[in-house]
Amino acid sequence: MPPVTTSVFELLKIGPGPSSSHTIGPMRAGFDFMHLIRELPEPDRLAADSLEVRLFGSLSATGEGHGTPRAILSGMLGSQPDACSSDTLEQFMDRDRTFDLDLGGKTLPFAPGMIIMDAIQHEYAHPNTMIFRLRTGDRVLLERIYYSVGGGFLRWEGWEEPERGEPVYPYATMAELKAHLRANSLRLHELILANEMAITGASEEEVNLGLDHIVAVMEQAVESGIQATGVLPGPIGLQRKAAVMYARAKQEYFQGPGFLKAINAYALAASEENAAGHCVVTAPTCGAAGVIPGILFMLKRHMGSLQTELREGLLAACAIGFLCKHNASISGAEVGCQGEVGVASTMGAALIAYARGYRFQVTENAAEIALEHHLGLTCDPVGGFVQIPCIERNAMGAVKAFNAYLIASTLDESYQKVDLDKAIRAMAQTGRDMSNKYKETSEAGLALSFTEC
């Protein structure tokens, strides 16, 4: 099996919610296709008279609720996820409003409502498939088939892994990772940092600055969320809860139940910002973007964690996320929500343990416990919106992460019988066995029960 070569900043990406596979990936696809158009010979660009975009699978089933057409158009107009403002997608709420796409010497009018929701069941290589075609009459001038594979990662027909440096300590499993730690007397964050620098060519200072920026964006999502009130966008009419939960926690001086209420409030806050389409960090996805910010906020505000501890904890969390992505999936359309909130909770448990000073065995045990108790979790968003059960599920994921840390750090390490590699294999197998109806299609589970009421 090839080693992990994913960058920390590919796993932790900044962009608009509510779904990394449905907004960040499609926004990148729109941006990329327009770049390809502008590289065409001038006669082809000037001859173009229509642009066709088709969505398949989960993108078709839940794309409207997730904001996929708006994200694609935003990308075609030049927005990139890590540089767009929090309200970037809000200008595209009117499905019929047209915008002029600059092809380079010619413009084409395009509106979100022109994007075609195609077959949910299909034969393409990934559930989240997008087809972009530029035409003149019936003749196709340019076509690209994109796959939004989860966490904002984008692939396409003919895609090849970009050239990058080789990791200093190659690993594909937790067992191989631990062997490097023992053989080289390294701590987990040191290994991940060394690999990050080797793979991307970034300096240690650049990595640290990047991590600090990630922490700042996560904190801002929580801060904004615990102050915001009202109803979230969409037809469900879901009331924001984070501000109320935070106020109750504050009344209890963040003690006893108030401490747990605070963790819930922080995770709800970032998740509600995601549901509003505002700027969040994929950790590892937008749908799970409340878990780790909630935990970071709790560590910093209530447990006195220093910035260096948060950085090291994030690197440890990324090690866990890499393994889940590498050996299973972080895409709800592939494995259900066990790959989104489940993996976020797993990463969060590792983050807490590591930031609190525990070494890799307790960190792994905490991660495994969190993942084990998310196995089989389906992705069944009501109405295709990342709201019910997604927002409260983020809060539950944060609390489970904290509880997994408590169990792992309290009990003797030798009590642990299931290691992380086994739990990840179980997640992959469960995802393969899970009916497609429970993989981000809104065709079953709570999504169906809600509409039948």
Query: pLDDT tens-digit profile of 252-307?
Result: 999 999 999 999 999 999 999 999 989 999 999 999 999 999 999 999 999 999 99
Confidence of residue 64 (pLDDT cuts 50, 70, 90): confident
- Rounded CA-CA distance 17/272 in Å is 10
Residue 88, pLDDT > 90, answer no
User: Is the bond leading into 69 cis (omega within 30 degrees of zero)?
Assistant: no
DSSP per-residue letters across 176-205 = HHHHHHHHHT--HHHHHHHHHHHHH---HH
Q: How far is CA 16 from CA 28, 75, 191, 275, 424, in A?
A: 12, 12, 31, 9, 28
Confidence of residue 453 (pLDDT cuts 50, 70, 90): low
Give the model's pLDDT for residue 152.
87
Best CA proximity match to 377, nearest among 434, 419, 320: 434
| CA atoms within 13 A of residue 65's CA, in its CB half-sphere | 23
- Rounded CA-CA distance 223/219 in Å is 6
Confidence of residue 83 (pLDDT cuts 50, 70, 90): confident
Query: pLDDT tens-digit profile of 8-46?
Result: 999 999 999 898 889 999 999 999 999 999 999 999 999
Query: pLDDT tens-digit profile of 407-419?
Result: 999 999 989 999 9
Give the model's pLDDT for residue 7.
96
Confidence of residue 451 (pLDDT cuts 50, 70, 90): confident
For residues 292-316, b (16+ Cβ closer than 10 Å) or e, as one string? bbbbbbbbbeeeebeeebbbbbbbb
Residue 188, pLDDT > 90, answer yes
- Rounded CA-CA distance 7/200 in Å is 7
Query: pLDDT tens-digit profile of 344-360?
Result: 999 999 999 999 999 99
Give the model's pLDDT for residue 328.
98
- Rounded CA-CA distance 236/242 in Å is 17
Domains defined for the chain, CATH in brackets: 20-156 (3.30.1330.90), 174-452 (no CATH)
Residue 98, pLDDT > 70, answer yes
Confidence of residue 165 (pLDDT cuts 50, 70, 90): very high
Give the model's pLDDT for residue 20.
85
Confidence of residue 62 (pLDDT cuts 50, 70, 90): confident
DSSP per-residue letters across 268-287 = HHHHHHHHTT-EEE-SS-ST
pTM: 0.89
**What 3-state DSSP class applies to 131?**
strand
Report the mean per-residue pLDDT for the chain: 95
- Rounded CA-CA distance 37/28 in Å is 14
Helical residues (DSSP H) of 101-203, grouped into ranges: 174-184, 188-200
**What 3-state DSSP class applies to 336?**
coil
Residue 443, pLDDT > 60, answer yes
